[in-house]
Amino acid sequence: MDTLINKDTDAALKFLNDGKLVAVPTETVYGLAADYRNEKAIQRIFRVKKRPAYDPLILHASDIQMIEGDLVKEIPGLAKELAEAFWPGPLTLILPKKENVSDLITSGLPTVGVRIPGHPLLLELIKKLDRALAAPSANPFGYISPTSAEHVEAQLGGKIPMILDGGPASVGLESTILAIEGSKIKILRRGIIEEEQLKAFSGQIITSDISSSRPEAPGMLDKHYSPRKNLFFADEIAVEKINAQNSGGISFSEYLEGIPHENQIILSPEKSLEIAARRLYAALREMDQSRFRQIVTEKFPETGLGLAINDRLKRAVTRK
Ligand code: TXA
Ligand code: MG
Protein backbone atom coordinates (compact mmCIF):
# COMPACT_ATOMS: atom_id res chain seq x y z
CA MET A 1 0.00 0.00 0.00
CA ASP A 2 1.24 3.50 -0.80
CA THR A 3 1.31 5.87 2.14
CA LEU A 4 0.39 9.47 1.27
CA ILE A 5 2.10 12.13 3.35
CA ASN A 6 0.57 15.60 3.14
CA LYS A 7 -1.59 18.21 4.88
CA ASP A 8 -4.84 17.37 3.07
CA THR A 9 -7.53 17.00 5.74
CA ASP A 10 -10.18 16.20 3.10
CA ALA A 11 -8.18 13.20 1.93
CA ALA A 12 -7.69 12.14 5.58
CA LEU A 13 -11.42 12.52 6.17
CA LYS A 14 -12.22 10.24 3.26
CA PHE A 15 -9.92 7.49 4.53
CA LEU A 16 -11.41 7.73 8.02
CA ASN A 17 -14.96 7.56 6.65
CA ASP A 18 -13.91 4.45 4.72
CA GLY A 19 -12.77 2.79 7.96
CA LYS A 20 -9.07 3.26 7.22
CA LEU A 21 -6.38 4.46 9.60
CA VAL A 22 -4.66 7.83 9.30
CA ALA A 23 -1.62 8.90 11.32
CA VAL A 24 -2.27 12.36 12.71
CA PRO A 25 -0.15 15.12 14.23
CA THR A 26 -0.71 16.28 17.77
CA GLU A 27 1.31 18.68 19.89
CA THR A 28 2.62 15.72 21.97
CA VAL A 29 3.39 12.85 19.58
CA TYR A 30 1.82 11.53 16.36
CA GLY A 31 -1.26 9.34 16.79
CA LEU A 32 -2.63 6.42 14.77
CA ALA A 33 -6.24 7.44 14.32
CA ALA A 34 -9.55 5.77 13.50
CA ASP A 35 -13.20 6.85 13.63
CA TYR A 36 -14.15 5.82 17.18
CA ARG A 37 -17.53 4.47 15.97
CA ASN A 38 -15.98 2.01 13.53
CA GLU A 39 -15.10 -1.18 15.41
CA LYS A 40 -13.29 -2.73 12.46
CA ALA A 41 -11.06 0.32 12.25
CA ILE A 42 -10.44 0.16 16.01
CA GLN A 43 -9.37 -3.47 15.70
CA ARG A 44 -7.08 -2.45 12.86
CA ILE A 45 -5.28 -0.02 15.21
CA PHE A 46 -4.46 -2.88 17.58
CA ARG A 47 -3.29 -5.05 14.68
CA VAL A 48 -1.10 -2.44 13.01
CA LYS A 49 0.53 -1.46 16.32
CA LYS A 50 0.71 -5.07 17.56
CA ARG A 51 -0.84 -3.68 20.70
CA PRO A 52 -2.35 -6.08 23.22
CA ALA A 53 -6.14 -5.82 23.54
CA TYR A 54 -5.87 -5.08 27.28
CA ASP A 55 -4.25 -1.68 26.64
CA PRO A 56 -7.05 0.88 26.09
CA LEU A 57 -7.07 3.70 23.52
CA ILE A 58 -7.72 7.38 24.22
CA LEU A 59 -10.19 9.55 22.30
CA HIS A 60 -9.52 12.92 20.67
CA ALA A 61 -12.35 15.45 20.38
CA SER A 62 -12.56 18.94 18.91
CA ASP A 63 -14.54 20.50 21.76
CA ILE A 64 -16.15 19.90 25.14
CA GLN A 65 -19.63 19.52 23.59
CA MET A 66 -18.41 16.52 21.61
CA ILE A 67 -16.99 14.96 24.78
CA GLU A 68 -20.11 15.58 26.86
CA GLY A 69 -22.53 14.70 24.07
CA ASP A 70 -20.93 11.52 22.73
CA LEU A 71 -18.19 10.19 24.96
CA VAL A 72 -18.55 10.57 28.72
CA LYS A 73 -21.38 10.34 31.23
CA GLU A 74 -20.28 13.38 33.16
CA ILE A 75 -17.40 15.74 33.65
CA PRO A 76 -17.07 16.39 37.38
CA GLY A 77 -16.38 19.99 38.47
CA LEU A 78 -12.69 19.45 39.09
CA ALA A 79 -12.23 17.79 35.70
CA LYS A 80 -14.03 20.68 34.07
CA GLU A 81 -11.69 23.20 35.69
CA LEU A 82 -8.69 21.23 34.42
CA ALA A 83 -10.25 21.00 30.96
CA GLU A 84 -10.86 24.73 30.85
CA ALA A 85 -7.31 25.45 31.93
CA PHE A 86 -5.46 23.02 29.67
CA TRP A 87 -7.57 22.17 26.59
CA PRO A 88 -6.79 22.25 23.75
CA GLY A 89 -3.55 20.85 25.07
CA PRO A 90 -1.43 17.95 26.31
CA LEU A 91 -3.83 16.66 28.97
CA THR A 92 -5.81 13.40 28.97
CA LEU A 93 -8.63 12.97 31.49
CA ILE A 94 -9.97 9.56 32.50
CA LEU A 95 -13.76 9.83 32.81
CA PRO A 96 -16.77 7.47 33.00
CA LYS A 97 -17.61 6.41 29.45
CA LYS A 98 -20.93 6.56 27.67
CA GLU A 99 -22.41 3.41 26.18
CA ASN A 100 -21.52 4.28 22.59
CA VAL A 101 -17.81 4.13 23.40
CA SER A 102 -17.01 0.53 22.51
CA ASP A 103 -15.40 -1.87 24.99
CA LEU A 104 -12.77 -2.47 22.32
CA ILE A 105 -11.58 1.10 22.87
CA THR A 106 -11.52 0.92 26.68
CA SER A 107 -10.42 -2.74 26.94
CA GLY A 108 -13.59 -3.35 28.89
CA LEU A 109 -13.01 -0.57 31.44
CA PRO A 110 -15.96 1.62 32.49
CA THR A 111 -13.80 4.70 31.92
CA VAL A 112 -12.31 6.32 28.82
CA GLY A 113 -9.38 8.67 28.31
CA VAL A 114 -10.30 11.86 26.42
CA ARG A 115 -8.47 14.94 25.29
CA ILE A 116 -8.77 17.95 23.01
CA PRO A 117 -5.41 18.07 21.24
CA GLY A 118 -3.65 21.36 20.64
CA HIS A 119 -2.84 20.96 16.96
CA PRO A 120 -4.79 23.05 14.41
CA LEU A 121 -4.61 20.51 11.58
CA LEU A 122 -5.93 17.71 13.76
CA LEU A 123 -8.68 19.90 15.20
CA GLU A 124 -9.72 20.79 11.64
CA LEU A 125 -9.90 17.09 10.76
CA ILE A 126 -11.96 16.16 13.84
CA LYS A 127 -14.38 19.02 13.12
CA LYS A 128 -14.84 17.81 9.56
CA LEU A 129 -15.44 14.24 10.71
CA ASP A 130 -17.73 15.56 13.46
CA ARG A 131 -16.86 12.55 15.62
CA ALA A 132 -14.04 11.70 17.99
CA LEU A 133 -10.91 9.94 16.83
CA ALA A 134 -9.46 7.01 18.76
CA ALA A 135 -5.68 7.32 18.60
CA PRO A 136 -2.80 5.76 20.48
CA SER A 137 0.72 6.92 19.70
CA ALA A 138 1.65 5.87 16.15
CA ASN A 139 4.50 3.50 17.03
CA PRO A 140 4.71 -0.27 17.15
CA PHE A 141 3.81 -1.35 20.70
CA GLY A 142 6.70 -0.77 23.11
CA TYR A 143 8.80 1.31 20.70
CA ILE A 144 9.58 5.04 20.85
CA SER A 145 6.66 7.37 20.05
CA PRO A 146 6.94 9.34 16.76
CA THR A 147 7.37 13.09 16.90
CA SER A 148 7.38 13.70 13.12
CA ALA A 149 5.70 12.37 9.98
CA GLU A 150 9.07 10.86 8.97
CA HIS A 151 9.17 8.86 12.21
CA VAL A 152 5.72 7.45 11.46
CA GLU A 153 6.68 6.65 7.89
CA ALA A 154 9.80 4.79 9.02
CA GLN A 155 7.65 2.31 10.88
CA LEU A 156 4.16 2.33 9.50
CA GLY A 157 4.87 3.35 5.91
CA GLY A 158 3.15 0.86 3.59
CA LYS A 159 0.82 -0.28 6.38
CA ILE A 160 -1.49 2.74 6.48
CA PRO A 161 -2.84 4.82 3.59
CA MET A 162 -1.99 8.27 4.93
CA ILE A 163 0.04 10.37 7.33
CA LEU A 164 -1.34 13.86 7.92
CA ASP A 165 1.82 15.93 8.14
CA GLY A 166 1.61 18.61 10.80
CA GLY A 167 5.34 19.12 11.19
CA PRO A 168 7.44 18.20 14.20
CA ALA A 169 5.58 17.85 17.52
CA SER A 170 6.09 20.87 19.76
CA VAL A 171 5.90 19.05 23.12
CA GLY A 172 7.54 15.75 22.16
CA LEU A 173 6.34 13.70 25.14
CA GLU A 174 2.94 12.01 25.48
CA SER A 175 0.14 13.85 27.31
CA THR A 176 -0.19 14.03 31.07
CA ILE A 177 -2.90 11.52 32.07
CA LEU A 178 -5.07 12.32 35.09
CA ALA A 179 -7.82 10.47 36.91
CA ILE A 180 -10.14 12.40 39.21
CA GLU A 181 -11.06 10.79 42.53
CA GLY A 182 -13.45 13.09 44.38
CA SER A 183 -11.37 16.14 45.21
CA LYS A 184 -8.10 14.32 44.46
CA ILE A 185 -6.11 14.31 41.26
CA LYS A 186 -4.24 11.14 40.44
CA ILE A 187 -1.37 11.39 37.94
CA LEU A 188 -1.37 8.21 35.87
CA ARG A 189 1.27 9.39 33.41
CA ARG A 190 3.54 12.38 33.80
CA GLY A 191 3.86 14.88 30.96
CA ILE A 192 4.53 18.52 30.32
CA ILE A 193 1.66 19.56 32.60
CA GLU A 194 3.42 19.15 35.91
CA GLU A 195 2.43 18.31 39.45
CA GLU A 196 3.27 21.87 40.50
CA GLN A 197 0.69 23.31 38.06
CA LEU A 198 -1.95 20.89 39.32
CA LYS A 199 -1.64 22.08 42.90
CA ALA A 200 -3.72 25.12 41.97
CA PHE A 201 -6.64 22.73 41.34
CA SER A 202 -6.45 20.29 44.24
CA GLY A 203 -4.75 19.98 47.60
CA GLN A 204 -4.29 16.28 47.04
CA ILE A 205 -2.21 15.05 44.13
CA ILE A 206 -1.59 11.33 44.10
CA THR A 207 1.47 10.10 42.24
CA SER A 208 2.43 7.00 44.19
CA ASP A 209 1.65 4.29 41.72
CA ILE A 210 3.18 5.77 38.61
CA SER A 211 5.72 3.29 37.31
CA SER A 212 3.95 0.41 38.96
CA SER A 213 4.98 -2.95 37.64
CA ARG A 214 1.37 -3.99 37.94
CA PRO A 215 -0.36 -1.28 35.97
CA GLU A 216 -3.68 -0.28 37.34
CA ALA A 217 -5.00 -0.39 33.80
CA PRO A 218 -3.04 2.08 31.78
CA GLY A 219 -0.28 0.77 29.60
CA MET A 220 2.12 1.96 32.20
CA LEU A 221 4.12 -1.17 31.68
CA ASP A 222 7.61 -1.19 33.02
CA LYS A 223 9.14 -1.83 29.63
CA HIS A 224 8.02 0.79 27.12
CA TYR A 225 9.27 3.63 24.93
CA SER A 226 12.34 1.53 24.12
CA PRO A 227 14.87 1.61 21.31
CA ARG A 228 15.92 -1.77 19.90
CA LYS A 229 19.49 -1.32 21.01
CA ASN A 230 20.45 -1.62 24.63
CA LEU A 231 20.06 1.65 26.48
CA PHE A 232 21.85 2.28 29.78
CA PHE A 233 22.04 5.00 32.39
CA ALA A 234 25.64 6.17 32.66
CA ASP A 235 25.54 5.88 36.48
CA GLU A 236 24.29 2.29 36.31
CA ILE A 237 27.01 0.85 34.11
CA ALA A 238 30.74 0.96 34.28
CA VAL A 239 31.39 3.03 31.16
CA GLU A 240 34.91 1.60 30.94
CA LYS A 241 33.43 -1.89 30.61
CA ILE A 242 31.45 -1.13 27.47
CA ASN A 243 33.25 -0.18 24.30
CA ALA A 244 33.01 3.60 24.40
CA GLN A 245 33.95 3.93 20.72
CA ASN A 246 30.88 1.85 19.91
CA SER A 247 28.54 3.73 22.22
CA GLY A 248 26.27 6.63 21.43
CA GLY A 249 25.41 9.15 24.14
CA ILE A 250 22.30 11.21 24.79
CA SER A 251 22.57 13.77 27.57
CA PHE A 252 20.75 16.80 28.92
CA SER A 253 23.18 19.71 28.73
CA GLU A 254 26.78 18.45 28.95
CA TYR A 255 28.81 15.64 27.45
CA LEU A 256 28.75 12.29 29.23
CA GLU A 257 32.13 11.25 30.54
CA GLY A 258 34.10 8.50 28.88
CA ILE A 259 32.30 8.52 25.50
CA PRO A 260 33.82 10.30 22.48
CA HIS A 261 32.16 13.67 22.03
CA GLU A 262 31.41 13.01 18.36
CA ASN A 263 29.27 10.03 19.45
CA GLN A 264 26.98 12.18 21.55
CA ILE A 265 23.82 14.23 21.24
CA ILE A 266 23.35 16.98 23.81
CA LEU A 267 19.64 17.70 23.93
CA SER A 268 19.78 21.19 25.37
CA PRO A 269 23.10 22.96 25.98
CA GLU A 270 20.99 25.87 27.27
CA LYS A 271 19.61 23.54 29.99
CA SER A 272 15.96 23.77 28.95
CA LEU A 273 13.92 20.71 29.93
CA GLU A 274 11.26 21.70 27.39
CA ILE A 275 13.73 21.68 24.55
CA ALA A 276 15.22 18.40 25.79
CA ALA A 277 11.76 16.80 25.91
CA ARG A 278 11.00 17.98 22.37
CA ARG A 279 14.21 16.44 21.01
CA LEU A 280 14.44 13.27 23.11
CA TYR A 281 12.55 10.77 20.96
CA ALA A 282 14.20 11.91 17.72
CA ALA A 283 17.59 11.48 19.42
CA LEU A 284 16.72 7.97 20.60
CA ARG A 285 15.65 7.04 17.08
CA GLU A 286 18.76 8.53 15.56
CA MET A 287 20.96 6.54 17.92
CA ASP A 288 18.92 3.40 17.29
CA GLN A 289 19.69 3.71 13.58
CA SER A 290 23.32 4.70 14.02
CA ARG A 291 26.42 2.52 13.80
CA PHE A 292 26.64 2.41 17.60
CA ARG A 293 26.15 -0.86 19.42
CA GLN A 294 24.51 0.60 22.51
CA ILE A 295 23.19 3.90 23.79
CA VAL A 296 24.14 5.57 27.05
CA THR A 297 22.02 8.27 28.64
CA GLU A 298 21.65 9.91 32.05
CA LYS A 299 19.01 10.77 34.60
CA PHE A 300 17.61 14.26 34.20
CA PRO A 301 17.07 16.75 37.05
CA GLU A 302 14.30 15.34 39.26
CA THR A 303 12.06 18.40 39.00
CA GLY A 304 9.17 19.44 36.79
CA LEU A 305 9.41 18.09 33.28
CA GLY A 306 12.60 16.25 34.27
CA LEU A 307 10.37 13.79 36.17
CA ALA A 308 8.39 13.01 33.00
CA ILE A 309 11.59 12.56 30.99
CA ASN A 310 13.06 10.25 33.64
CA ASP A 311 9.82 8.28 33.73
CA ARG A 312 10.16 7.52 30.00
CA LEU A 313 13.89 6.81 30.22
CA LYS A 314 13.46 4.46 33.18
CA ARG A 315 11.01 2.40 31.18
CA ALA A 316 13.24 2.47 28.11
CA VAL A 317 16.50 1.32 29.71
CA THR A 318 17.68 -2.26 29.47
CA ARG A 319 17.39 -4.22 32.69
CA LYS A 320 19.70 -7.15 33.03
O1 TXA B 1 -0.19 12.46 23.95
C2 TXA B 1 -0.88 11.43 23.89
O3 TXA B 1 -1.60 11.05 24.82
C4 TXA B 1 -0.77 10.63 22.59
C5 TXA B 1 -1.38 11.44 21.45
C6 TXA B 1 -1.46 10.66 20.17
O7 TXA B 1 -2.63 11.91 21.83
N8 TXA B 1 -1.46 9.37 22.75
C9 TXA B 1 -0.98 8.37 23.50
O10 TXA B 1 -1.76 7.24 23.48
O11 TXA B 1 0.07 8.45 24.12
P12 TXA B 1 -1.23 5.83 23.99
O13 TXA B 1 -2.31 4.87 23.70
O14 TXA B 1 0.08 5.58 23.43
O15 TXA B 1 -1.14 6.06 25.55
C16 TXA B 1 -2.36 6.26 26.27
C17 TXA B 1 -2.27 5.61 27.61
C18 TXA B 1 -2.07 4.12 27.52
O19 TXA B 1 -0.98 3.79 28.36
C20 TXA B 1 -3.36 3.54 28.07
O21 TXA B 1 -3.13 2.37 28.79
C22 TXA B 1 -3.86 4.66 28.97
O23 TXA B 1 -3.50 5.82 28.27
N24 TXA B 1 -5.32 4.61 29.11
C25 TXA B 1 -6.22 4.64 28.11
N26 TXA B 1 -7.47 4.55 28.59
C27 TXA B 1 -7.36 4.46 29.93
C28 TXA B 1 -8.30 4.32 31.01
N29 TXA B 1 -9.62 4.25 30.79
N30 TXA B 1 -7.81 4.26 32.27
C31 TXA B 1 -6.49 4.35 32.50
N32 TXA B 1 -5.56 4.47 31.53
C33 TXA B 1 -5.98 4.53 30.26
MG1 MG C 1 1.95 4.90 23.31
Query: pLDDT of 205-264, one tens digit each?
Result: 999 655 544 445 444 566 778 999 999 999 998 766 788 999 999 999 999 999 999 999
Q: Write down the pLDDT at residue 209.
A: 55
Ligand 2 centre to CA of 106 (Å) is 14
What angle do the packed helices 120-129 and 9-17 form, to 10 degrees?
40
- What mean pLDDT is predicted for residues 283-303? 97
Q: Write down the pLDDT at residue 212.
A: 43
Give the position, in ligand 1's atom list, of the atom nearest the Cα of 216: 31
pTM score, whole prediction: 0.96
* Number of other residues whose CB lies within 10 A of the CB of residue 257: 12
- What mean pLDDT is predicted for residues 286-312? 96
Q: Write down the pLDDT at residue 171.
A: 98
pLDDT digits 0-9 by tens, 269-286: 999 999 999 999 999 999
Ligand 1 centre to CA of 59 (Å) is 9
Are 62 and 123 within 8 A, CB to CB?
A: yes
Q: Write down the pLDDT at residue 214.
A: 42
- Tell me what the pLDDT averaged over the chain comes to: 94
Give the position, in ligand 1's atom list, of the atom nearest the Cα of 97: 29
* Euclidean distance between CA atoms 259 and 245, whole angstroms: 7
Q: Write down the pLDDT at residue 247.
A: 96
pLDDT digits 0-9 by tens, 129-181: 999 999 999 999 999 999 999 999 999 999 999 999 999 999 999 999 999 99
Measuring from atom 7 of ligand 1, which residue has the nearest CA?
31
Q: Write down the pLDDT at residue 320.
A: 64
Residues with CB under 6 A from ligand 1: 26, 28-29, 31, 55-58, 92, 94, 106, 109, 111-113, 117, 135-137, 174-175, 177, 188, 217-220
- What mean pLDDT is predicted for residues 106-118? 97
Strands (E), 87-171: 91-96, 111-115, 133-134, 162-164
pLDDT digits 0-9 by tens, 46-62: 999 999 999 999 999 99
Q: Write down the pLDDT at residue 266.
A: 98
Give the whole-number percent of the chain exceeding pLDDT 70: 94
* Euclidean distance between CA atoms 157 and 107, whole angstroms: 27
